């Protein structure tokens, strides 16, 4: 199976006035309540999780083993973490689901039908955003 070619955004919109790259899906910039810019960042740590947990750190890889039961993750404020990232990975082969929720007053912005990470070695990536006046985490993969 051939590897697909990278998507190239339109030249006129390839970068913002600040010189940072913008996020594009199918050559369309993501603009929930304003433009979303991707910042250079490093994932700061791996957090191993085996039970439901409120996440206090962002820019983290959340490695979840749901062997003992479903895991419910509560994300920190996306409004306070605009441009930061959380990656959720499920490592076990059980039918238990890893679900995500936002703190009170915020939202997980995900496609209809997304109910969490259900498959072994599957991942879900989220970036902190503000859409209109609502903070939260947008699923980007």
Query: How many domains are contained in the chain?
Result: 1
Domain interval for residue 97: 41-139
Taking 60 as the threshold, does the pLDDT of residue 7 lie above it?
Answer: no
Please report whether residue 23 resides in a domain. Answer: no
Please report whether residue 106 resides in a domain. Answer: yes
Please report whether residue 79 resides in a domain. Answer: yes
- DSSP per-residue string spanning the chain: -PPPPPP---GGGSB-TTSPBBPEETTEE--SSS--BPPP----EEEEESS-EE---SSEEEEE--TTS-EEEE---SGGGBT-EEEEEE---SSPPEEEEPPTT-EEE--TT---B-STT-EEEEEEEEETTEEEEEE--
Taking 70 as the threshold, does the pLDDT of residue 138 lie above it?
Answer: yes
**pLDDT value of residue 30:** 52
Please report whether residue 5 resides in a domain. Answer: no
Domain at 49, CATH number: 2.60.120
What confidence tens digit (pLDDT) does each residue in 81-116 have? 999 999 999 999 999 999 999 999 999 999 998 999
**pLDDT value of residue 38:** 47
Please report whether residue 27 resides in a domain. Answer: no
pTM, two decimals, is 0.69
């Amino acid at each position: 199976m051939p590897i697909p070619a990278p998507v190239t955004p339109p030249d006129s919109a390839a970068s913002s006035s600040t010189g940072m790259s913008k996020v594009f899906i199918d050559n369309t910039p993501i603009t929930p309540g304003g433009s979303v810019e991707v910042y250079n960042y490093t994932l700061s740590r791996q957090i191993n999780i085996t039970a439901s947990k409120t996440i206090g750190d962002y820019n983290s890889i959340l490695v979840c083993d749901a062997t003992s039961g479903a895991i419910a993750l509560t994300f920190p404020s996306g409004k306070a973490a605009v441009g930061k990232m959380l990656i959720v990975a499920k490592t076990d082969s059980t039918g238990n689901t890893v679900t995500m929720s936002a703190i009170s007053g915020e939202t997980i912005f995900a496609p209809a039908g997304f109910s969490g990470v259900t498959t072994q070695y599957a991942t879900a990536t989220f970036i902190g955003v503000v859409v209109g006046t609502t903070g939260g985490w947008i699923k980007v993969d």
